[in-house]
Structures are given as structure tokens and as C-alpha cells.
Amino acid sequence: MRLNLRAKTEPEVNMTSLIDVVLLLLIFFMVSTSFVKESQISITLPEADSEAVAEDVPQQLEIMITEQGTYLVNGRELVNNRPETIRNALQRVSAGDTSLPLTISADANARHQHVVTAMDVAGRLGFTRISIATLNDPANE
């Protein structure tokens, strides 16, 4: 018996379709990246002048009245409890802006007359947003 030996053939890989896919992907990425443009905005930031100091006007005024009848305007004690002193202190602290909210808080043992005096001075100056601070009794909660 005679066997014919055939020559072994090497398998072929067709590279044409693979090259086509790679070229299509390359073209796709080249086209898509050309549409991306980042925009830039030039901003000139202001610089602070360290020599010019503006006087701070508070956002809220507070009058505190102690048990002895001493007045504190925004935490600063007044030299006496005369209405003129309270008026001058309120004008100086508010810089003439009577639209600021004003809170009056008093000690529980302070005289009612001191609270009324503070309300009267504030009303005569033109303050319309006056509130009286209260404290809830923790025993009733």
C-alpha cells in the first residue's frame, strides 16, 4: 500500500478585513476629536486696597438690658442709661440705617421702664423692625 504524502499547507489569515476595521476606527477617532474645543474666558479679578478700610455696618442691632438697668448696644456697654446716650449709640452703630432689625433683650429682673425707654428711643429714631427677645420656659416643654 502506497500512501501519498501531501504537503502541509500553512493556514492563511486574511488581514484585509482587519485592516479595514482599524482604518475605520482611526478615521472615526480623528473626526470626533476635532469637534472638541475648550473655551476659555479671561477674567480680570479686582484687587483689594489695604489702606482703605470701610466701617462695618452690622446686619442687626441688639440692645441688652441688665438687671441693674445698664444698656449694652451690640455688646458694648453705654456710659449711662439716659435716653440721649441710647439714641447716640444707636445712630452711631446703625450709621443712620433705620431699616435694620433691632432686637431688645432684657434680664428677667430688669425694670419694665428700661425696656419701654429702649423701645421709645428706637421708635423715635425711625426703627420699625423692633422685636423683643423671649426665652421659653424649659419646665413647660
Q: What is the pLDDT of residues 39-66, one digit of tens each?
A: 677 778 778 766 655 555 568 889 999 8
Domain parsing of the chain, residue ranges: 61-135
What is d(CA 68, CA 86) in angstroms, rounded to the nearest whole number?
16
Task: Identify the CA nearest to 119 among candidates 129, 108, 134, 109.
Answer: 129
pLDDT value, residue 138: 59
What is d(CA 34, CA 30) in angstroms, rounded to the nearest whole number?
7
What percentage of the chain exceeds 70 in pLDDT? Answer: 82
H-run or E-run covering 115: helix 112-125
Burial 95-108 (b: 16+ CB within 10 A, else e): eeeeebebebbbee
- Give the pTM: 0.54
Q: What fold, for 61-135? A: Nucleotidyltransferase; domain 5 (3.30.420)
